[in-house]
Amino acid sequence: MNPFQLPASIIDHTVRDRTVRRLREAGVRLPTFMEMADPVAASLVVEQTVDPDSPDPANLRRVHWHNAADRRHLTETPGYLELPSALTGVPARILVVLGERFPMIGAHKVLPAYACLVVRLVSGLFDPARDKAVWPSTGNYCRGGVAISRILGCRGIAVLPEGMSAERFDWLARWVADPADVIRTPGSESNVKEIYDTCAELARHPDNDVINQFSEFPNYVVHRICTGRALAKVFEHAGRGSSARLAAFVSSTGSAGTLAAGDHLKATYGARIVAVEPVGCPTMLYNGYGVHNIQGIGDKHIPLIQNVMNSDMVVGVSDLSTDTVNVLFNTPEGRAFLAERKGLSDELIGALGSVGISGIANILAAIKAAKRLDLTQDDVIVTVATDGAAMYGSERDKALARDFGNRFDQVAAAEVFGRALAGVGEDHVLELGHRDRQRIFNLGYFTWVEQQGIPLADFDQRRQQRFWDELCALVPVWDELIESVNRDAGTGR
Ligand SMILES: Cc1ncc(COP(=O)(O)O)c(C=O)c1O
């Protein structure tokens, strides 16, 4: 599918009717984009007995940010942590919104996976009886894709680098129909080119549909509409009755889908958009390359769906910092240090387990941005924790052995705190001017035009904000296509 030829009507009625039959048999109702954006208003209620981590079709109704802490009830305000200055060292208020509450995979990447597949399904571009959905990713998106595929009764194939965390592979082994549906590509986090090469091979087979998060605009749209509004709700909740300003939205970039929420927050509150990447692979900062362990981000290229020209700052974070803070946040010794020496509440310390490695990167980048911009206590930064620490126990063990000789005590905890948190500086921070944005935008040319064959005019139209705004006009069109499938399947309201 050419990423720019987004369906706005039914393309193949026969295939779409097969989808309707399948959904009728399985009793599946597909949520619309606007329902996922405001599931409380839409009453997307699910029986409490349905396990949020089971492949139950009812869990489609939990694919949104408004799951309560038990992941079964709805909540008006998405779950978030407010980090105290004792931890961050800056007066600005840093809010971390929790992706861990999403169903089935404990990460928000199930949201773009659903969005990308549903647009195909309701327009008849994907035949669930025949086609296999191929999900290229560094771990969470392919888990989301496999979960959604399974619920909808179609085959899902995960393509991910062999170096990703053991927890990701354990999860996949439990969820795929056939072990052959997990394809390991060479390398680790930054080896996205190798993923593309494998996908190009798979795409030769007509029944394989590669749903590439890096070039699928529904990934952009769903985050701008759903994540953007969810984060706005969090800001409104935290800032109520005060003179709070939303100074910035900070997001590390893998596919850069999440970053699209910034376009909503900038349009609504004037928030700056801060993109985060690993200093071990500083593509936006320095046209650089390399390897790192901030799993989920930093992939040595500029995604097609990244709205580069609307970004305001790029911040680089080191994986030594994120790996060691992962140990600080999730060991008894680290937690004792945070309680006894920094006065953090037990509640907050417990909740730090909801922040995975890229969430830690976001926190460290938010601190850097707050320092660079001299933000005050009236300023709020919103960021996300895509997933929680449960995905990285094996990575913690590696860091414990490599960096601490398996002996992490209070002295080591103080050292990590001093270096990675209290000592955060303004290194690897770039405030973007027009020429900087152009440089980063132009870098995408080599991947998309030269390697992937995107027509130059299509590639270039993404310089204009009008292009991105017009994508959102497709939401009511897609929602009507979804509603009409639900009606025909007898699962509509
Ligand atoms: C753990 C983690 N963090 C961050 C990201 C980046 O999110 P996005 O692809 O929306 O930029 C991903 C993407 O897969 C991820 O899995």
Question: Does the Cβ of 386 fall within 6 Å of ligand 1?
Answer: yes
Question: Does the Cβ of 257 fall within 6 Å of ligand 1?
Answer: yes
Probe target for ligand 1 pocket from 252, 308, 383, with the most ligand atoms within 8 Å of CB:
252
pLDDT surpasses 80 at 32: yes
Question: Does the Cβ of 387 fall within 6 Å of ligand 1?
Answer: yes
Distance 160 CA to ligand 1 centre (A): 13
pLDDT tens for 247-267 read 999 999 999 999 999 999 999
CA distance 30 to 32: 6
pLDDT surpasses 80 at 283: yes
Which residues sit opposite 83 in a β-bridge?
A: 94
Per the listing, tokens 């991105």 go with 468
Those residues with Cβ within 8 angstroms of residue 402's Cβ, 6 or more apart along the chain or in another chain:
none
Which atom of ligand 1 lies nearest, measured to the CA of 253? Answer: 11
Question: Does the Cβ of 258 fall within 6 Å of ligand 1?
Answer: yes
Distances (CA, A) of 142 to 79, 103, 146: 24, 14, 6
Residue spans of alpha helices (H) in 291-386: 319-330, 332-340, 346-351, 357-372
Residue spans of alpha helices (H) in 373-464: 393-404, 410-416, 434-445, 456-461
Question: Does the Cβ of 306 fall within 6 Å of ligand 1?
Answer: no
Q: What's the predicted TM-score (pTM) here? A: 0.97
110-212 and 80-103+218-431 share a CATH fold = yes
- The protein residue with its alpha carbon nearest to ligand 1, atom 13, reads 296
pLDDT surpasses 80 at 493: no
Tell me the HSE value of 122 on the side-chain side, using a 13 A CA sphere.
Answer: 28
- The protein residue with its alpha carbon nearest to ligand 1, atom 16, reads 296
CA distance 445 to 449: 5
Question: Does the Cβ of 253 fall within 6 Å of ligand 1?
Answer: yes
Probe target for ligand 1 pocket from 102, 108, 109, with the most ligand atoms within 8 Å of CB:
109
CA distance 127 to 29: 17
Enumerate the domain spans of the chain: 35-68, 80-103+218-431, 110-212
Contact predicate 330/396, CB 8 Å: yes
pLDDT surpasses 90 at 453: yes
Distance 109 CA to ligand 1 centre (A): 7
Amino acid identity for residue 127 in this structure? D
- The protein residue with its alpha carbon nearest to ligand 1, atom 14, reads 296
Burial of 286 (0-12, 13-18, 19+ CB in 10 A): middle
Q: Looking at per-residue confidence, does 52 or 492 come out higher?
A: 52
pLDDT tens for 162-193 read 998 899 999 999 999 899 999 999 988 778 88
CA distance 227 to 246: 15
Which atom of ligand 1 lies nearest, measured to the CA of 219? Answer: 10
Give me 155's structure tokens: 């085959």
CA distance 96 to 366: 10
pLDDT tens for 235-250 read 999 999 889 999 999 9
Give the CA-trace dihedral at 45, 50, 52, 58, to 10 degrees: -60
CATH architecture, range 80-103+218-431: 3-Layer(aba) Sandwich (3.40)
Probe target for ligand 1 pocket from 98, 255, 306, 364, with the most ligand atoms within 8 Å of CB:
255
pLDDT surpasses 80 at 416: yes
- The protein residue with its alpha carbon nearest to ligand 1, atom 3, reads 296
Average pLDDT over residues 453-471: 98
pLDDT tens for 14-29 read 999 999 999 999 999 9
Per the listing, tokens 């030769």 go with 204
Edge-to-edge strand ranges of the sheet holding 208-210: 182-185, 155-161, 132-136, 208-210
Distance 24 CA to ligand 1 centre (A): 33
pLDDT surpasses 80 at 1: no
**2 — pLDDT class (breaks 50, 70, 90):** confident
Question: Does the Cβ of 28 fall within 6 Å of ligand 1?
Answer: no
- The protein residue with its alpha carbon nearest to ligand 1, atom 1, reads 296
CA distance 454 to 456: 6
Distance 296 CA to ligand 1 centre (A): 4
Question: Does the Cβ of 165 fall within 6 Å of ligand 1?
Answer: no
Average pLDDT over residues 418-426: 96
Which atom of ligand 1 lies nearest, measured to the CA of 139? Answer: 16
Question: Does the Cβ of 254 fall within 6 Å of ligand 1?
Answer: yes
Question: Does the Cβ of 255 fall within 6 Å of ligand 1?
Answer: yes
pLDDT surpasses 90 at 89: yes
CA distance 307 to 245: 23
In CATH, the number for domain 110-212 is: 3.40.50.1100
Distance 260 CA to ligand 1 centre (A): 12
**Selection from 382, 354, 381 nearest residue 98 by Cα:** 354
**155 — pLDDT class (breaks 50, 70, 90):** very high
Distance 94 CA to ligand 1 centre (A): 19
Give me 128's structure tokens: 């669930």
Question: Does the Cβ of 141 fall within 6 Å of ligand 1?
Answer: yes
What DSSP assignment string belongs to 183-228? Answer: EEESSSTT-HHHHHHHHHHHHTSTTEEE--TTT-HHHHHHIIIIIH
Instruction: Return the pLDDT at 193.
Output: 84
Per the listing, tokens 């749209």 go with 221
Question: Does the Cβ of 227 fall within 6 Å of ligand 1?
Answer: no
What DSSP assignment string belongs to 376-399? Answer: -TTEEEEEEESB-GGGGHHHHHHH
Contact predicate 118/482, CB 8 Å: yes
pLDDT tens for 352-396 read 999 999 999 999 999 999 999 999 999 999 999 999 999 999 999
Distance 91 CA to ligand 1 centre (A): 27
- The protein residue with its alpha carbon nearest to ligand 1, atom 12, reads 296
Residue 275 phi, psi (nearest 5): -95, 135
Give me 6's structure tokens: 């987004």
